């Protein structure tokens, strides 16, 4: 195998992967959001879950994509772990369809009649390409254009397959390759190679396709192929495991369910098959394989093991829970969500109170995430970053849970005061969730500062420290007023928000001046400005939260009118509070400039 053959092989792999991706993406566009909705709504029983998982995966050509989708459902509490296990088992079966599509090319190659030759790899790819390009050029409906893309993707996939087969065709006379294949006679080594290869490609279908291409050399035997297929199954779990990073404990369990299921399937199949082979000495182990037999082996392995393991889904669920234990701290963080009982919806007074208590916990978590993020700017710590990312996910789940609960509550008959409270809470949860989002943004900026060794000028650093102190104070005031229901504390937030706006405005002006004098670099400036923007938005959200509390207390004006009244009418000593914070956080010359501007 020379250098040209290697390039052809890699090119064939690239076309194969691109064709698969194009097919899957186009199929999703044709289906719209229906696949996700079907998967969510109709996976109530294990049998339904398996059938739906198989069907969806057969459509999108990727068991990993289906499993990642399921991780998202479980992470957002839309699906239970047991349902997810069933869907993943179905996905395991559905991914075998690609091997049969590829095997169609072998049918044409083995026949001499024109009708069979038309079913060769070249014939199928040519027909798919012609039909696909005509649909793209002639059709106006987006759905038909996407169908054309599906056919074009299939043509590219088949052409890539042909290119791979052509590139490896000379290997049947290569002594080095023949020697390499003899190592596959060791099942454990074959499993390991298949696992590593698939982990790199992140596609079981692509690995099986390459194995089918290698079968054209006439050197692969059953003894060498079966372990490779077993290894391919385990290797395909890598992208699913990665999708579980940053998820809730249930999301991580779902991501871990894929490798657990695959490892159990491999152990089950290997124990039965090789145990029988030790006694019966299967005669077909030395026979060579072709594309059709590889597709058949792959399907039999997947279907037979899933059929057996489907009976043990409850036990597999318990095993996964043991392998991925819950985090007591995370469970404690989400414990308050259990207050939102469905039975309370019939009693709006109780439901509104339970919502308020749950939102108090959400508010505390949002404040904690921002404080942790600010600390990372002084001393970056991977554990601190992980805490901010985890809190952001938890606060997101609080917003989803509380928002859904309140929307269902609006369908009940409520008093004017209760309706007002529900409306204010819906607005407040958005601001709280956005604070945690900005906390994650700030944590990411802190990581960038660490990685790129960014240093602000001495003056810039002092300005940033001043801003951080002001943000900590306004955050504490807003959250405390909301949690305790103290409107007097809430009246302090708007004046401080106005001061923070002034701080941010001055920081940008001074930063621009330093850039012009060459005392700061443009690269550092991007991070500096991003941090200012995040902090300024956090201040705005704190103001919104405080105004919600004032409205709840005073049953006053809407949020926009109220902030203006607080300023214009000097309600609750607005000017006094403003002067207090301006003196604390703004330099005298900046205060004088503000007075002059006014």
Neighbours of 295 (CB within 10 A): 24
263 and 304 assigned to the same domain: yes
205 and 112 assigned to the same domain: yes
Read off the CATH number of the domain in which 509 is found. Answer: 1.20.58.220
Question: What is the reported pLDDT for 596?
Answer: 44
Distance CA 375, CA 439 (A): 11
Torsion of CA 210, 213, 217, 222, to 10 degrees: 70
Distance CA 256, CA 252 (A): 6
319 and 178 assigned to the same domain: yes
H or E element, residue 541? helix 522-554
Token representation of residue 378: 């002084």
Question: What is the reported pLDDT for 376?
Answer: 92
Closest to 291 (Cα-Cα) out of 123, 17, 98, 102: 102
95 and 229 assigned to the same domain: yes
Whether the Cβ atoms of residue 277 and residue 74 lie closer than 8 Å to each other: no
Question: What is the reported pLDDT for 6?
Answer: 76
Distance CA 125, CA 133 (A): 12
pLDDT per position as a tens digit, 35-75:
555 655 555 678 888 888 888 777 666 677 777 777 766 76
Q: Last residue of some domain: 393, 428, 453? A: 453
Q: Last residue of some domain: 417, 432, 453? A: 453
Whether the Cβ atoms of residue 160 and residue 12 lie closer than 8 Å to each other: yes
Phi, then psi, of 144 in degrees rounded to 5: -70, -35
Question: What is the reported pLDDT for 570?
Answer: 47
pLDDT per position as a tens digit, 427-446:
899 999 999 999 999 999 99
166 and 281 assigned to the same domain: yes
311 and 369 assigned to the same domain: no
3-class DSSP assignment, residue 571: coil
463 and 448 assigned to the same domain: no
Token representation of residue 403: 């928002």
578 exposed, middle or buried (CB, 10 Å; 0-12, 13-18, 19+)?
Answer: buried
Q: Last residue of some domain: 304, 323, 342? A: 323
Q: Which residues of the chain have pLDDT under 70?
A: 1-2, 24, 27-28, 30-44, 59-62, 72-73, 75-78, 104-122, 161, 165, 168-185, 243, 245-248, 327-336, 338, 343, 519-525, 553-572, 588-598
> Which pTM value belongs to this model?
0.55
Question: What is the reported pLDDT for 115?
Answer: 53
Distance CA 264, CA 494 (A): 59
Phi, then psi, of 118 in degrees rounded to 5: -65, -25
303 and 337 assigned to the same domain: no
474 and 431 assigned to the same domain: no
Taking 3-state DSSP, the helix, strand and coil percentages for the chain, each rounded to the nearest 5, stand at: 85, 0, 15
Domain extent for 190: 3-323
Whether the Cβ atoms of residue 209 and residue 16 lie closer than 8 Å to each other: yes
First to last CA, the chain: 80
Distance CA 470, CA 481 (A): 17
Distance CA 327, CA 332 (A): 9
* Site of tokens 């065709």: 169
Whether the Cβ atoms of residue 432 and residue 478 lie closer than 8 Å to each other: no
Question: What is the reported pLDDT for 557?
Answer: 43
132 and 145 assigned to the same domain: yes
200 and 338 assigned to the same domain: no
Distance CA 47, CA 96 (A): 18
The DSSP string of 302-365 is HHHHHHHHGGGHHHHHHHHHHHS---HHHHHHHGGGGG--GGGGG-HHHHHHHHHHHHHHHHHH
Distance CA 579, CA 567 (A): 13
**How many domains, in total, are found in the chain?**
3
81 and 152 assigned to the same domain: yes
Distance CA 282, CA 274 (A): 10
* Three-state secondary structure readout of 29-82: HHHCCHHHHHHHHCCCCHHHHHHHHHHHHHHHCCHHHHHHHHHHHHHCCCCCHH
């Amino acid at each position: 195998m020379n250098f040209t053959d290697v390039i052809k092989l890699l090119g064939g792999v690239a076309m194969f992967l691109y064709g698969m991706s194009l097919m899957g993406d186009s199929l999703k566009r044709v289906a719209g959001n229906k696949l996700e909705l079907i998967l969510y709504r109709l996976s109530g029983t294990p049998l339904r879950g398996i059938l739906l998982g198989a069907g969806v995966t057969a459509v999108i050509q990727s068991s990993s994509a289906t499993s990642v989708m399921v991780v998202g459902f479980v992470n957002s509490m839309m699906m239970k772990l047991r349902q997810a296990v069933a869907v993943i088992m179905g996905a395991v079966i559905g991914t075998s369809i690609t091997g049969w599509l590829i095997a169609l090319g072998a049918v044409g190659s083995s026949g001499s009649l024109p009708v069979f030759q038309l079913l060769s790899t070249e014939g199928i790819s040519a027909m798919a390409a012609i039909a696909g390009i005509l649909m793209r050029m002639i059709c106006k409906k987006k759905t038909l254009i996407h169908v054309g893309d599906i056919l074009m993707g299939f043509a590219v996939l088949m052409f890539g397959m042909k290119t791979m087969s052509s590139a490896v065709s000379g290997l049947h006379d290569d002594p080095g390759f023949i020697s390499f294949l003899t190592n596959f006679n060791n099942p454990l080594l074959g499993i390991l190679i298949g696992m590593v290869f698939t982990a790199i490609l992140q596609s079981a279908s692509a690995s099986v396709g390459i194995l089918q291409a290698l079968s054209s050399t006439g050197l692969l035997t059953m003894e060498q192929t079966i372990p490779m297929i077993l290894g391919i199954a385990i290797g395909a779990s890598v992208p699913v495991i990665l999708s579980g990073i940053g998820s809730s404990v249930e999301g991580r369990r779902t991501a871990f369910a894929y490798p657990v299921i695959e490892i159990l399937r491999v152990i089950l199949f290997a124990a039965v098959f090789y145990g029988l082979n030790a006694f019966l000495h299967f005669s077909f182990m030395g026979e060579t394989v072709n594309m059709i037999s590889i597709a058949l082996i792959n399907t039999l392995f997947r279907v037979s093991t899933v059929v057996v393991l489907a009976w043990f889904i409850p036990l597999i669920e318990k095993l996964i829970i043991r392998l991925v234990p819950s985090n007591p701290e995370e469970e404690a963080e989400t414990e308050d969500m259990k207050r939102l009982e469905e039975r309370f919806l019939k009693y709006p007074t109780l439901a509104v109170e339970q919502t308020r208590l749950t939102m108090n916990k959400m508010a505390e978590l949002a404040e904690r995430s921002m404080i942790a993020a600010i600390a990372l700017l002084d001393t970056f710590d991977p554990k601190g970053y992980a805490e901010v990312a985890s809190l952001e996910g938890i606060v997101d789940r609080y917003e989803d849970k509380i928002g859904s609960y309140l929307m269902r509550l609006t369908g009940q008959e409520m008093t004017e005061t209760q309706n007002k409270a529900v409306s204010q809470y819906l607005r407040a949860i958005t601001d709280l969730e956005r604070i945690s989002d900005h906390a994650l943004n700030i944590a990411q900026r802190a990581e960038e500062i660490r990685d790129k060794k960014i240093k602000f000028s001495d003056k810039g650093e002092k300005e940033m420290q001043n801003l951080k102190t002001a943000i900590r104070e306004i955050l504490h005031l807003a959250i405390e007023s909301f949690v305790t229901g103290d409107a007097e504390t809430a009246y302090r937030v708007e004046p401080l928000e106005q001061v923070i706006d002034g701080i941010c405005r001055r920081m940008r002006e001074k930063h621009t001046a330093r850039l012009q004098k060459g005392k700061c670099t443009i690269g550092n400036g991007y991070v500096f400005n991003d941090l200012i923007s995040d902090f300024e938005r956090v201040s705005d959200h704190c103001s919104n939260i405080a105004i919600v509390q004032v409205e709840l207390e005073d049953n006053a004006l809407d949020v926009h009118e109220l902030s203006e009244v607080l300023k214009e009418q000097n309600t609750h000593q607005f000017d006094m509070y403003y002067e207090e914070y301006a003196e604390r956080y703004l330099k005298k010359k900046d205060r004088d400039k503000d007075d002059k501007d006014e």
